[in-house]
Chains A and B, each alone.
Chain A
């Protein structure tokens, strides 16, 4: 079982919809990252969280350390948000572990 589980695996939405991607982990962590990988393959770090909530434009990321859970929200989704979103954690032992990714498709 992966130490980092993401859901859903695939997500299709209509433009304008509010989107939530979830990430649960089973180990103690020092940080959690949300990454975005576009169809061209490039990876961009969206957020780094160790507690609370962060917002950047239409993207919001939250983390609950006690529940070992993080969510990535996209408001007013747009086709250009179509990408694979990956949750990654840095464990207290310094190891990096990745979720399997959530493939998001936003239709116009």
Chain B
């Protein structure tokens, strides 16, 4: 059973479109995250949710909006996609807000053309 699953794994879309990436975890964790890994392989955190509440929102354009319908899901919606949004997006989860092992999804490769 996959602990943290993301869909889709690959997504190619045109500039200006709106797209979503879904994430689900079956670990019973209360904290979920979205990370972005750019073309240089540098990882940055985008958002963190604890018990469905936003606790970290790094400097991310308003076009990115996370939505957490319940503790097991954290979806990422991206409006008006731009070329620079092309990256790999990783979802992750952990129990508690600090100091526990983080479990990553397999990543979603987004290409904006």
Q: A94-B98, A101-B41 are in contact. Are A44 and B56 (CB under 8 A)?
A: no
**Interface residue? A90 (CB, 8 A):** yes
B113 CB to closest chain A CB (Å) equals: 20
Interface residues of A in 9-63 (CB under 8 A from B): 30-31, 33, 35, 37, 41-45, 48, 50
Interface centre among B88, B102, B107 (most CB of A within 10 A): B102
Chain B 64-80 interface mask (CB, 8 Å, partner A; 1/0)? 00000000000000000
- Whether the pair B44, A98 counts as a contact (CB closer than 8 A) is yes
10 sampled A-B residue pairs with Cβ under 8 A: A30-B99, A31-B99, A33-B102, A43-B90, A45-B103, A48-B102, A94-B48, A96-B56, A97-B45, A101-B43
Q: Determine the chain A residues whose CB is within 8 A of the CB of B100 once the complex forms.
A: 31, 48
* Majority secondary structure of chain B interface residues (helix, strand, loop or mixed): strand
- Whether the pair B101, A41 counts as a contact (CB closer than 8 A) is no
* Majority secondary structure of chain A interface residues (helix, strand, loop or mixed): strand
In the assembled complex, the Cα of A96 lies from the Cα of B33 at a distance in Å of 10
Q: Determine the chain B residues whose CB is within 8 A of the CB of A44 once the complex forms.
A: 104
Interface residues on B, range: 20 to 34
What number of A residues sit within 8 Å (CB to CB) of B? 23
Interface residues of A in 57-106 (CB under 8 A from B): 84, 86, 88, 90, 94-98, 100-101
Q: Determine the chain B residues whose CB is within 8 A of the CB of A84 once the complex forms.
A: 41
Binding site for B on A (CB under 8 A): 30-31, 33, 35, 37, 41-45, 48, 50, 84, 86, 88, 90, 94-98, 100-101
Question: Which 9 pairs show the lowest CB-CB distances between chains A and B?
Answer: A43-B104, A31-B99, A96-B45, A98-B43, A30-B98, A48-B101, A45-B101, A45-B102, A41-B107
Interface centre among B41, B48, B58, B109 (most CB of A within 10 A): B41
- Whether the pair A42, B98 counts as a contact (CB closer than 8 A) is no
Q: Determine the chain B residues whose CB is within 8 A of the CB of A37 once the complex forms.
A: 41
Task: Name A90's contact: one of B88, B98, B107, B109 (CB within 8 Å).
Answer: B98
